Structure 1
């Protein structure tokens, strides 16, 4: 007889446009936003993220109407930043952040997911910047994120959660820990993406147990270990790796999500856990059945 799943009553499950193959505000290979909203609701989710700014309607009244009639609520918006480049990028960063944060605030979200810029192009594989930051750049990154956390909270009432991501400067266990150790816990928390962290060799359960007070948000994702091994061996960029299916449907990959969710529950705080299965580009009929099966699987885990 199997043991019953733990009750994950501190975990709020949702999904995101990413699970429908959406990476850009407008792209002919992506499903229309109306279809995403219809299908994410049909799959049994009540929380969503905004996705790329401009994919969903940016008028708060329109978006409120469209989400409310489908029983959906917004957990977060997402921004991309390159704060390691120093104060010169602040004004452009804040302009972008302000758009997304204002919409997230209007939708009663409480979080802003912050993704560092890529060091190589996720489409062309062109190396844009060195893979490793200098000590000065680490300093810019830490102080910039603290400034962002303070201003986003003061201006919009949102908490930033920084998202370690493949092909960025915050990726491996070493880089994630260096970033956390360099930033103020009162200003900067982490969005732990289980798939990206595994992609870069990290252990999500260990990170939750070691830096629990810094975990402010979760993205639930798995990687296919066989495809990942080939990706790592051949230095495949993230975009082409996704097209090969490196991010796979749970529970078929790693890390196992049950222990991750159990570790998150033990933190004793309310956390969003947003499903993301990178699938850009994908056939329009593909996301819905995957989303339905994933929601059923997560219910079997107690979420």
Structure 2
């Protein structure tokens, strides 16, 4: 039983708010991520999307491709249309050895809108659930048949955010729909990441480690701020730098036999939170949590 340690480029440059780290070259992200101790990267908007181009870049840094975010629109297009839309992304992941696809339904989402508070997160009507679930199952079956499993990302500001929404998603989809457990997004939505890990252990195929500064989350909720305002105020940080109990979470991953990537995905303003400093802190803390839990790390 072993895990691999990866990082998302959000530490250096932000996809939802491109002005954050906008001048930071991809080369700096990769070099510093490797220097911090990570074995792989998820995709970001500065990554080439041609495997023949990206592959040698990652290889030159001794890095693997972990996965990459995909924005689905299954509430407004058919499963067949979604499959056609995701094929280039699937090809990139498959070609470079990634085994999971970070997958999130973005219809009606508000997490990229700085002026829309998190209290206005969307939810699906019963009719939309009945549309969404069979389409998601069909897309997941296709991707799994291609050797890449969907890792559904519950996410603040989207239609799958709360514990109840995750529970229905898991109850009414087939096992081809894997779950991406994101501790920060779940706790930020008022949920319990440790309980979710235990409940959905057999479905968890990918893990994002995003910690939360409790007082900043409370302030964001009290003042009804948006997701992006929360980011700018420092709501998120690397694992071990907030209040989430990662020691217990990692013990649960060990007990469940989890094997896959654990990924630091902790968006902050890089002008405030020095990227290499926080990347190192995140990697060092992940290594400590793994050692304490008895999880072996594959370099």
Aligned residues of 1:146 and 1:184 also touching (Cα < 8 A) = yes
Aligned to 1:61: 52
The 1-side partners of 2:161 and 2:17 are apart by 25
Instruction: Provide Cα deviations, 1:216-267, integer angstroms capped at 9, x if missing partner.
Output: 1100111111111121122211111111111023322131211111101111
4+ aligned runs moved over 3 Å, structure 1 = 24-29, 93-96
Instruction: Provide Cα deviations, 1:3-30, integer angstroms capped at 9, x if missing partner.
Output: xxxxxx5222111112223316976842
Aligned residues of 2:12 and 2:21 also touching (Cα < 8 A) = no
Which stretch of the first structure deviates more once superposed, 242-251 or 77-86?
Answer: 77-86
SS at structure 1 position matched to 2:37:
coil
Structure 2 gaps of 5+ residues are 292-296
Change (3 A) 1:59 1:26: farther
Aligned to 1:169: 159
Aligned to 1:291: 279
Q: Structure 1 residue 146 and structure 2 residue 137: aligned?
A: yes
Cα drift, residue 58 of structure 1: 1.8
Aligned residues of 1:78 and 1:100 also touching (Cα < 8 A) = no
Length-normalised TM-score, structure 1: 0.87
Aligned to 1:254: 243
Aligned to 1:73: 64
Structure 1 gaps of 5+ residues are 1-8
Q: Structure 1 residue 34 and structure 2 residue 23: aligned?
A: no
CA RMSD of aligned residues (A): 2.3
Q: State how 1:214-229 maps to structure 2 within 5 Å.
A: 214-229=203-218
The 2-side partners of 1:28 and 1:244 are apart by 13
SS at structure 1 position matched to 2:261:
strand
Aligned residues of 2:6 and 2:263 also touching (Cα < 8 A) = yes
Cα drift, residue 139 of structure 1: 1.5
Aligned to 1:5: none
Aligned to 2:93: 104
Aligned residues of 1:85 and 1:137 also touching (Cα < 8 A) = no
SS at structure 2 position matched to 1:76:
coil
What is the aligned residue count? 288
